[in-house]
A and B are shown apart, each in its own frame.
Chain A
Amino acid sequence: MQDYNEMLQFLDKDGKLSDDAPDIAHQFDTLLKLYKAMVTIRTFDHKAIALQRTGKMGTYPSILGSETVSVIAGAVLDKNDVFAPYYRDQGTQYLRGVTLTEMFQFWGGDERGNNFHNCKYDFPCSVPIASQALHAVGAAFALKHHGKNNCALVSLGDGATSQGDFYEAMNAAGALKLPVVFLICNNKFAISTPIEKQTFCKTLAQKSIAGGFDGLIVDGNDPIASYYVVKQAIEKAKKESIPVLIEAITYRLSDHTTADDALRYRTQEELDNAWLKDGVNRLKNYLIKNSIINQHDVENILSDAKTEVKEAVEKYLQIQLQDVEDLFDYHYANIPTILAEQKMELKNV
């Protein structure tokens, strides 16, 4: 029987590795790559908030506190799998090939940021909560229909698990036996609503019972356990052509977005305690402890990340605005007459 209540953890918050840790705990090349990506995303995130504060970008939802599992999902997915993100998936998107410039552009209010050049079949971030879950189910259907041994992975927040679309997606994925991985990032909050007010369920993993498939809980700040669980889930989904749900426990270390002030609904003390469990620091300490990197490397990794982000910002800031025609030209493959007229009207204003 599946245990829907137990959280899997191999590397605890104090850096202690359990004896039964899987192979990935010793695959240091992979872990180092993951660490670098996490640092890049954290640096990107920091910069995005700064750009928003100085009027150079729109409202932005920080991923601070969930980089670990987010980056790992991106690392484990196969290029030909399909990713259906929500808006707090910068880590996965980055490893899927969405460029930092594209991300700045998207959050900077430019649709062209969604025209991913490296992962052409991934969905853009979905804003209506949970609606993207059904897109993943549809994409998984198409993959299976075309005889591909790939899966779709949908990422959702904890609040999303209250939505009808989430249940409909789980139910359909189960009923149609589709390879869909539901990755729930339980960062404990939906804006100000804490998880205790979101559901009476003990865990979110147990919601998968309603869909008839397994639900796993993992410490989303533990890189070893997250890698292990996400990989297992993806392999199982593909091998057996069935859905799997993962509840990754994290904590939103940021405000909900740049338009939010989390101290209105949670204490500094709670936040300070959550920082002790941070996954990026946990991985850094683990790599140092195993002599894979030293303090000097840590600084170099950070400065490389800063360079990469800085270059992306420069590119982003140089992008010209779209023509007003672009506001009309992408509604239909062929522009209808009325729209063409309205387009001329705006052009002539």
Chain B
Amino acid sequence: MSSVTLIDAINLALQYEMEQDPNVVLIGEDIGLNGGVFRATQGLQEKFGENRVIDSPLAESMIAGMSIGMSTHGLKPIAEFQFMGFIYPAMNQIISHACRMRNRTRNRLTCPIVFRAPFGGFIHAPEHHSESTESLFAHIPGLRVVIPTSPERAYGLLLAAIREPDPVLFLEPKRIYRLHKQEIDNNGIALPLDTAFILREGSNITLISFGASIVETMQAAQELEQYNVSAEVIDIATIKPIDFETILSSVEKTGRCVIIHEAAKSCGVGAEIAATIAEKALTSLLAPIRRITGYDIIMPYYKMEKHNMVSTTKIVQAAKETMEY
């Protein structure tokens, strides 16, 4: 057991799987000697050599495209994009090839790749470093999109992502990379993908979130206790495909629901959840579904960034209004 942060947990999982599986290779910009800009791959090149921890040229489409060729031919690449805002040159490779190769070849060629990228705002970085465009990816057939929110889940979900036979976009909430430490057992046990986690049980209202907003969501649940509101908190974790079973049974139990995410509201993951609840559990609802999300705006430069972040106050407010409806 060791007490680690979320970023340490990622490093541990990478290291564990590289030791177990010689076909696992890392590729990305500055991931070797430098250990990655957030140090996710710290020490790994030293340990596994330059052929398994590849410092790539500065070209994202190349990183994704090469990963595709590696994966169809026996390797398990884990590609790092420095920031989510720099994945876009690779979109073509991801959408047009990585996610389609299995279907296109009727299972003959497959792409077991993990695309890792830090995402989300509030680290006071320049433009393009604070993106939450996960729903672009959640829209793509053939892809999985997985987001951990604690060291334990980062470790277990990353292991699962690496072992998955299909491409996984693993988005890391960089704001909480070093927020908490947690005791984890470096035992190589994976957590399930496509599965939501109930972080807190409750009976009056369901708060559904993912990514760094889980922090505010948990705080809100805590605060709601003082108003005698028992809130259940669900971390969706895999936003594509979403575990609706867990969500629906919670909403059927509580009858109320607030969905929280940092990304823009329109066509965000919250829209998908709300639509599915409306389709399948409308009659269980005692109040309209609420969404607390970013606005449909370009992420402001960091001075004004906080206006586009979800806050505990907003969540508590929405939850109280839902209770009083």
A169 touches B62 (CB 8 A): yes
Assess whether A1 is interfacial by the CB under 8 Å rule: no
Assuming the contacts A126-B97, A331-B102, asked whether A172 and B68 have C-beta atoms less than 8 A apart, the reply is: no
Which residue in chain A gives the minimum CB-CB distance to B64? Answer: A134
How close is A171's CB to chain B, nearest CB, in angstroms? 5
Is the beta-carbon distance between B57 and A168 smaller than 8 angstroms?
yes
Residues from chain B with a CB closer than 8 A to the CB of A84 are 69
B106 A115 Cβ-Cβ under 8 A: yes
A142-B75, A168-B59 known; A137-B66 Cβ under 8 A: yes
Select one of B59, B69, B103 contacting A331, CB under 8 A.
B103
Q: Is the CB of B66 within 8 A of A134?
A: yes
Cα-based distance from A172 to B64 in the complex (angstroms):
12
Cross-chain contact A111 with B103 (CB below 8 angstroms): yes
Bound complex: CA of A332 vs CA of B75, how far in Å?
Answer: 18
**Most interface-central of A134, A137, A165 (chain B CB within 10 A):** A134
**Structural contact, A124 and B104, CB atoms closer than 8 A:** yes
User: Which chain B residues lie closer than 8 Å to A164 at the CB level?
Assistant: 59, 61, 89
Write out the residue numbers on chain B whose beta carbons fall within 8 Å of the beta carbon of A336: 194, 241
Whether the pair B70, A112 counts as a contact (CB closer than 8 A) is no
Chain B residues within an 8 Å CB radius of A141 = 66, 69-70, 75
* Chain A residues whose CB sits within 8 angstroms of the CB of B97 once the complex forms: 126, 128, 131, 135
Mark out the residues of chain B between 58 and 117 whose CB falls within 8 Å of any chain A CB in the assembled complex: 59, 61-62, 64-75, 77, 89, 92-93, 96-97, 102-110
B165/A128 in contact, CB under 8 A: no
Decide if B106 touches A330 in the complex (CB within 8 Å): yes
A21 CB contacts on chain B under 8 angstroms:
none
Known: A131-B96, A135-B97, A336-B194. A114 touches B61 (CB 8 A): no
The answer to whether B65 touches A169, judged by C-beta atoms less than 8 angstroms apart, is yes
The one of A134, A168, A338 that contacts B68, using a Cβ cutoff of 8 Å = A134
Say if the beta carbon of B245 comes within 8 Å of chain A.
yes
In the complex, how many angstroms separate the beta carbon of A152 from the nearest chain B beta carbon? 7
A contact residues vs B (CB 8 Å cutoff): 82, 84, 111-112, 114-116, 120-121, 123-124, 126-128, 131, 133-143, 145-146, 152, 164-165, 168-169, 171-172, 175-176, 330-333, 336-339
Q: Identify 27 residue pairs between A and B in the complex whose beta-carbon atoms are under 8 Å apart, listed by A's number.
A: A111-B104, A111-B106, A121-B72, A123-B69, A127-B96, A128-B92, A128-B96, A131-B65, A131-B96, A134-B64, A134-B66, A141-B75, A142-B74, A145-B51, A145-B75, A164-B59, A164-B89, A168-B59, A168-B65, A169-B62, A171-B59, A171-B62, A330-B107, A331-B102, A332-B144, A332-B166, A336-B194
| Besides A115-B108, A135-B66, A138-B67, 16 other A-B contacts (C-beta < 8 A) | A111-B105, A114-B104, A123-B109, A124-B105, A124-B109, A131-B65, A131-B96, A133-B65, A138-B68, A138-B69, A139-B70, A142-B74, A164-B61, A165-B62, A332-B102, A333-B166
**What 3 A-B pairs have minimum CB-CB distances, sorted nearest first?**
A138-B69, A134-B65, A336-B241
Residues of B within 8 A of A (CB): 25, 51, 54, 56-57, 59, 61-62, 64-75, 77, 89, 92-93, 96-97, 102-110, 141-142, 144, 164-166, 194, 241-245
